């Protein structure tokens, strides 16, 4: 993502202690960040820490001659390409909803034309109070975006909705706000991760797929404004911001979920590593060693799983369907044959023999293989970079559709 100018506005809640971590995440993503604090925020977070991490002076006061000489409050409001309020207290949300401007942060929020993202943090009863709910609804209706609050243990001792989202989550929401909504109105179905095929009630056959590639695609599609459904096999990855996730275990369960979601989807991207075979007769309880034949060998009979990608390609209509190919040799040739056999619009081929790309790692080196035999080889990229390149291609197909 291109570096952007972000104003991080911090109001006075205990969650303000996470602001430095959030600031670091935004700086790591390459953004230029300035901080503005309410007077109460200073009690929870040191301006000196924020100044050191942002490399920018921190604004605290309205009409302070020294601070205004640096950049005046209207200049600050105009400078920002995004204003992120984290944490946003109930008081600040109320001021924003009603147009109050009695300190630097609320004044900048009234003056800015930039998109605004808020990460509320407060006691559960304050969040659920009709006054706060109405204020949040007013802000949403004006286009203010929200991330959180999340449920959990609150600093005040209560449990429930009110925790500020984790900094990594807020950084994801920032990326979503800053990405152009080129897939708005589109429904994207993504599959990711490996499947697990039951041998008995506790054991499975699975593979080394981490799901990272498919999750990165789902995250990027959501950033671009699509409604995203992620059918996830075995994966420990966190659900990307704004994505609806359906967890499945086996290939058969994945097929069922994909077929249920397929009708409503305009774009289908099948990054999952689906097991090709499953045990023919999984035991419904744990197999015991004493049940084994005397030879000490256990023979499992495997039957073939349905090919979900091939099946949906048969009834794809004008949907765009992208398949993946995991190959250890003759990568392009094998992917071309796979594309012809399954009938998808594009195959993303991975060389799984490489150690620096593919399974488990954060980077991938892929080749796009097209039906007209064209081949595009991409350099080694972060999986989010591969996802962006892939969705750029899908968007081109979409305009031709
Ligand atoms: N796929 C699928 N259902 C299966 C097997 C694979 O939908 N039962 C999909 C994968 O999600 C991927 C593509 O087909 O998009 C290719 O998967 P891959 O494992 O590379 O190929 P296979 O079709 O399984 O063929 P082979 O194992 O012989 O390489």
- Of 49-58, 300-309, 357-366, the one with minimum mean pLDDT is 357-366
The reply to whether ligand 1 has any atom less than 6 angstroms from the CB of 349 is no
Task: Residue 385: count other Cβ atoms within 10 Å of its Cβ.
Answer: 16
On the question of pLDDT at 1 being above 90, the answer is no
The reply to whether ligand 1 has any atom less than 6 angstroms from the CB of 321 is no
Answer yes or no: do 159 and 111 share one domain: yes
pLDDT at res. 101: 96
Please give the average per-residue pLDDT across 307-331, as a whole number. 95
Answer yes or no: do 34 and 166 share one domain: yes
On the question of pLDDT at 295 being above 90, the answer is no
Confidence at 302, pLDDT banded by 50, 70, 90:
very high
The range of the structural domain enclosing residue 234 comes to 187-399
The reply to whether ligand 1 has any atom less than 6 angstroms from the CB of 272 is yes
Measure the CA–CA gap between 217 and 178, rounded to whole angstroms: 17
Is 21 buried (19+), middle (13-18) or exposed (0-12) by CB count in 10 A? middle
CA of 273 to the centre of ligand 1 (A): 7
**Index of the ligand 1 atom closest to the CA of residue 251:** 8
The reply to whether ligand 1 has any atom less than 6 angstroms from the CB of 324 is yes
Count the domains in the chain.
2
Of 150, 178, 206, the residue that ends a domain is 178
Answer yes or no: do 161 and 254 share one domain: no
Confidence at 357, pLDDT banded by 50, 70, 90:
confident
Answer yes or no: do 90 and 129 share one domain: yes
Name which of 350, 368, 189 is nearest 261 in CA terms.
Answer: 189
Answer yes or no: do 144 and 276 share one domain: no
**Index of the ligand 1 atom closest to the CA of residue 304:** 8
The reply to whether ligand 1 has any atom less than 6 angstroms from the CB of 262 is no
pTM: 0.86
Answer yes or no: do 64 and 144 share one domain: yes
When the pLDDT of each residue in the chain is averaged and rounded to a whole number, the result is 94
Which residues, other chains included, contact 299 with Cβ-Cβ below 8 Å and sequence gap of 6+? none
pLDDT at res. 54: 97
Confidence at 400, pLDDT banded by 50, 70, 90:
confident
Answer yes or no: do 349 and 389 share one domain: yes
Answer yes or no: do 171 and 211 share one domain: no
Which residues, other chains included, contact 20 with Cβ-Cβ below 8 Å and sequence gap of 6+? 45, 49, 50, 53
Confidence at 2, pLDDT banded by 50, 70, 90:
confident
Confidence at 263, pLDDT banded by 50, 70, 90:
very high
Confidence at 46, pLDDT banded by 50, 70, 90:
very high
- Of 102-106, 137-141, 193-197, the one with minimum mean pLDDT is 137-141
On the question of pLDDT at 329 being above 80, the answer is yes
| CA 154 to centroid of chain Cα atoms | 25
CA of 307 to the centre of ligand 1 (A): 7
Of 178, 201, 232, the residue that ends a domain is 178
On the question of pLDDT at 27 being above 80, the answer is yes
Answer yes or no: do 395 and 348 share one domain: yes
Task: Residue 306: count other Cβ atoms within 10 Å of its Cβ.
Answer: 13
Protein residue with least CA distance to atom 3, ligand 1: 307
On the question of pLDDT at 69 being above 90, the answer is no
- Of 28-32, 230-234, 357-361, the one with minimum mean pLDDT is 357-361
Answer yes or no: do 260 and 279 share one domain: yes
Task: Write the DSSP assignment of 37-82 as a string of letters.
Answer: E-TTGGGTS-HHHHHHHHTSPPB--TT-HHHHHHS-HHHHHHH-SE
The reply to whether ligand 1 has any atom less than 6 angstroms from the CB of 311 is no
On the question of pLDDT at 65 being above 90, the answer is no
User: Could you tell me the CA-to-CA distances from 144 to 81, 85, 224, 309, 395 in Å, in that order?
Assistant: 14, 11, 17, 39, 27
What's the pLDDT tens digit per position in 94-106? Answer: 999 999 999 999 9
CA of 322 to the centre of ligand 1 (A): 12
On the question of pLDDT at 232 being above 80, the answer is yes
**Residue from 231, 270, 336 whose mutation best tests the ligand 1 pocket (most atoms within 8 A of CB):** 270
Protein residue with least CA distance to atom 24, ligand 1: 276
CA of 274 to the centre of ligand 1 (A): 6
pLDDT at res. 77: 96
Name which of 63, 145, 135 is nearest 99 in CA terms.
Answer: 135
- Of 99-113, 150-164, 364-378, the one with minimum mean pLDDT is 150-164
Residues taking part in catalysis: 156
Of 178, 212, 231, the residue that ends a domain is 178
Confidence at 4, pLDDT banded by 50, 70, 90:
very high
pLDDT at res. 294: 81
CATH of the domain at 24: 3.40.50.1950
On the question of pLDDT at 70 being above 90, the answer is no
Beta bridge partners of 381: 364
On the question of pLDDT at 353 being above 80, the answer is yes
Confidence at 148, pLDDT banded by 50, 70, 90:
very high
Answer yes or no: do 210 and 346 share one domain: yes
pLDDT at res. 37: 97
Please give the average per-residue pLDDT across 272-296, as a whole number. 91
Asked if 161 and 127 count as a contact pair (C-beta separation under 8 A), the reply is yes
Confidence at 156, pLDDT banded by 50, 70, 90:
confident
> Parallel, antiparallel, or unpaired: how do β-strands 197-198 and 204-205 relate?
antiparallel
CATH of the domain at 267: 3.40.50.10300
The reply to whether ligand 1 has any atom less than 6 angstroms from the CB of 266 is no
Protein residue with least CA distance to atom 4, ligand 1: 307
The reply to whether ligand 1 has any atom less than 6 angstroms from the CB of 276 is yes
CA of 183 to the centre of ligand 1 (A): 26
Answer yes or no: do 96 and 30 share one domain: yes
pLDDT at res. 355: 77
């Amino acid at each position: 993502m291109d570096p952007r100018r972000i104003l991080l506005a911090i109001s006075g809640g205990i969650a303000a202690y996470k602001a430095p971590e959030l600031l670091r995440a935004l700086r790591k993503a390459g953004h230029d960040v300035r901080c503005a604090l309410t007077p109460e925020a200073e009690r929870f977070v040191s301006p000196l820490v924020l100044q050191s991490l942002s490399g920018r002076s921190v604004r605290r006061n309205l009409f302070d001659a020294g601070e205004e000489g640096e950049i005046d409050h209207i200049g600050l409001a105009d400078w920002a390409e995004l204003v992120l309020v984290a944490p946003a207290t109930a008081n600040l949300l109320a001021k924003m909803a009603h147009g109050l401007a009695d300190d630097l942060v609320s004044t900048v929020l009234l003056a800015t034309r930039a998109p605004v993202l808020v990460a509320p943090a407060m006691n559960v009863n304050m969040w659920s109070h009709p006054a706060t709910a109405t204020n949040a609804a007013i802000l949403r209706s004006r286009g203010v975006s929200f991330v959180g609050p999340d449920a959990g243990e609150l600093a005040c001792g209560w449990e429930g909705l009110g925790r500020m989202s984790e900094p990594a989550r807020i950084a994801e929401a920032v990326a979503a706000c800053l990405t152009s909504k080129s897939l708005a109105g589109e429904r994207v179905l993504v599959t990711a991760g490996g499947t697990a095929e039951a041998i008995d009630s506790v054991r499975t056959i699975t593979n080394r797929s981490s799901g990272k590639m498919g999750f990165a695609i789902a995250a990027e599609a959501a950033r671009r404004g699509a409604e995203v459904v992620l059918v996830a096999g075995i994966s420990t990855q966190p659900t990307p911001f704004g994505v609806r996730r359906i967890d499945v275990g086996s290939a058969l369960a994945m097929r069922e979920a994909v077929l249920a979601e397929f009708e409503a989807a305009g774009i289908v991207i099948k990054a999952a590593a689906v097991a090709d075979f499953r045990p023919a007769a999984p035991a419904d309880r744990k197999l015991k060693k004493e049940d084994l034949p005397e030879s000490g060998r256990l023979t499992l009979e495997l039957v073939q799983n349905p090919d979900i990608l091939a099946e949906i390609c048969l009834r794809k209509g004008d949907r765009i369907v992208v398949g993946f190919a995991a190959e250890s040799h003759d990568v392009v040739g094998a992917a071309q044959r796979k594309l012809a056999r399954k009938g998808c619009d594009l195959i993303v081929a991975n060389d799984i023999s490489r150690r620096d790309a593919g399974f488990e790692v954060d980077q991938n080196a892929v080749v796009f293989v097209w039906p007209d035999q064209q081949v595009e080889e991409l350099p080694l990229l972060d999986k989010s970079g591969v996802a962006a390149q892939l969705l750029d291609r899908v968007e081109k197909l979409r305009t031709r559709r």
